[in-house]
Homo-oligomer: A and B are copies of this chain.
Amino acid sequence: MLKNLFDILLGRHLSNEEEQEHRIGPLEGIPVLGLDALGSSAYGPEAAATLLLPLGIAGTKFVLPVVLCLIVLLLIVYFSYRQTISAYPEGGGSYTVARENLGPVAGLIAGAALMLDYVLVVAVGISAGVGALISAIPSLQSHTLALCLVTLTLISGINLRGVKESGFAFIVPTYVFVFSTLGVLVWGVFQTILAGGHPVALVNRAISPMPTLETASLWLLVRSFASGCTAMTGVEAISNGVKLFREPTVKNAKRSLGIIIGILALLLLGIAYLAQAYGISATNPGEPGYESLVSQLVAAIVGRGSVYYVTIASVIAVLLLSANTGLADFPRICQILANDNYLPHILAERGRRLVFSAGIISITILSAILLIFFDGVTDRLIPLFAIGALLAFTMSQTGMVAHWLKNMGQKDRKNKPYFSIAANALGAVGTGVALLAVMISKFTEGGWFTLVCIPTILTLFYAVKRHYDHIARQLHCIDPLNYDHMRSPVVIVAIRNWNRMTRKALRFAMNITPEIYGVYVDSGRGTVQIDADWEKYVTAPAHQWGYHPPRLIKLKSPYRQLNKTIMDLITQLEKDHPNRQVAVLIPRFVEQKWYHYILHNHRSVLFTAALRLRADPRVIIISVPWYLQ
């Protein structure tokens, strides 16, 4: 029953051979790996514009320049990542690139930054989507957190079913979003041109912000740019997931990256240009009368008709689903780290649907904690978010520069990769400067948290690695089996009374050794019965068949500490038989129904656990199960 439930919820087991079949093409790549990047267009320009609010309506004219800077940075990153995809067709995540070219520490910093980033992608994506939904339907406000968690569970469930299904589930909302939003923007541009640059908004907001600053300082513009950098997140996803694409892998991945960056740039540009043209400014999130920039803009261009609702619905869907990028990528970076022994190995195990189930579950739990902690409102997470992404970018681009420089050294190469070096160096500098800008301007607003978090994660990586190395050293074995000093073990059988379980245990013991001790612990009830039974059922037949009979050892335990009493006996027997292994044979009644658990004492389970806790390498534990018919 449980099995069937899992089959329905998670789908049937997939064979290892089915992996190829589950690869994706460039267009499928957009929903699977690009949702995060595209979704960020819905909050990136708004984040930049919010910082310009103190300028009042005058601030709108600074949004476009800031967004143009972002687009330039985006294009730099695009060319830079194209190089990475070519150089690392096996999946060139920041971790791989930085580790191979800059050394393990750089790799781990990039890995930690990415892990942090993906968790934030999920939390921010979901809470932004739910936030958008709530501004459309204010009556849902009181259920913010519940909506976030339900969405998280749904997306997580889809991912546990495997990557192809999730791509398919997300394809429709993604394309609706792209076409409706681009369509609205094009229509807006058309209107603007017709109106000679000053179009009339179909729906206009009554409230206009009062300026509190007279002119824009450079610092304000830097802070606005830093906030807008959230629009950069998600670009990493493609180069990290190159392996997901079907042949020709590299070409498909590059195409997918190009399409995503292109759409994103158009969206950013369109939003910034039209916001200025229509004179729309951001409103303060979390205050009454808040309305998202995109919602205002769409309403201004097409009015609050069916086009508005379709567009906004697709924005909400894309925001909610953009969390999927995190859920698709976090398990992959975890797998790579786990294979290198920096994370628990279970993160590298494929589940029934070929996905890394443990990684999906981990990020689900981590982002659920974030959502619960911030009560579903993750405004304050947005700066952290950009820091993780930009840190990973910088490590990756710098690594790529080192990569090309190393390759240059190889004499047999004809075409020196000057272009590649230039592209990646530009990328490294660009993202590095942006990182610095975000870090400084957002330090007190949560940037410090990254500085705490990343070293913590690094410490964790090294602790895990140290543990695995330690085990590997201890388990490493170059000794062959040897057949010297072969001796049958000393077997101790724990006895409570003469019954079928006891008999079965003794029969098995007799089959493996002639040296058997039945141990009976007297906790106050006397030993008369067991003495008589042992003589009648064990000793007498042994003599009759001409065997050495198993011995009965009776122990007193006035403090009802059965386990300790038997442990002491084991220590004694080990002393008496210095060169032999001691096997403790525990008859175990196996409960086959859950409610049987409360009816039994679990002495055998507790005793087994106590034996293991004792950590005596000479003791082997044999469990002779007994099943109720």
Measuring CB to CB, which residues of chain A are less than 8 angstroms from any residue of chain B? 13-17, 344-346, 349-350, 352, 464, 467-468, 470-471, 474-477, 479-484, 486-489, 498-504, 506-508, 510-513, 523-524, 536-538, 540-542, 545, 547, 558-561, 581, 583, 589-590, 592, 596, 598-601, 608, 612-613, 615, 617, 619-629
Contacts and interface: CB of A to CB of B under 8 A. Distances in A.
B599 A560 contact: no
B625 A623 contact: no
Given A477-B500, A486-B511, A617-B627, 12 more contacts: A13-B560, A477-B503, A477-B537, A480-B537, A481-B541, A484-B545, A489-B511, A512-B512, A512-B513, A619-B625, A620-B623, A622-B623
B501 A475 contact: yes
A499 to B, nearest CB: 4
Contacts of A500: 474-477
Contacts of A507: 481
Number of copies: 2
A149 B561 CA distance: 31
A344 B599 contact: yes
A468 B599 contact: yes
A480 B540 contact: yes
Contact of A600 (B345, B352, B483): B345
A498 B480 CA distance: 9
The A contact surface, by secondary structure, is mixed
Contacts of A17: 558
Contact of A508 (B468, B474, B620): B620
B537 A510 contact: no
Given A500-B476, A620-B622, A623-B620, A510 B481 contact: yes
Contacts of A346: 598, 600-601
Contacts of A512: 488-489, 512-513
Nearest to A354: B560
Q: Which 6 A-B pairs have the closest CB atoms?
A: A483-B545, A512-B512, A475-B499, A15-B558, A480-B541, A16-B524
6 contacts: A13-B559, A345-B599, A349-B601, A468-B599, A483-B542, A615-B627
Contacts of A559: 13-16, 352
B486 A596 contact: no
A581 B350 contact: no
Contacts of A503: 477, 479, 481
Contacts of A615: 590, 592, 625, 627
Given A477-B499, A481-B538, A500-B475, A622 B625 contact: no
Contact of A481 (B487, B488, B506, B558): B506
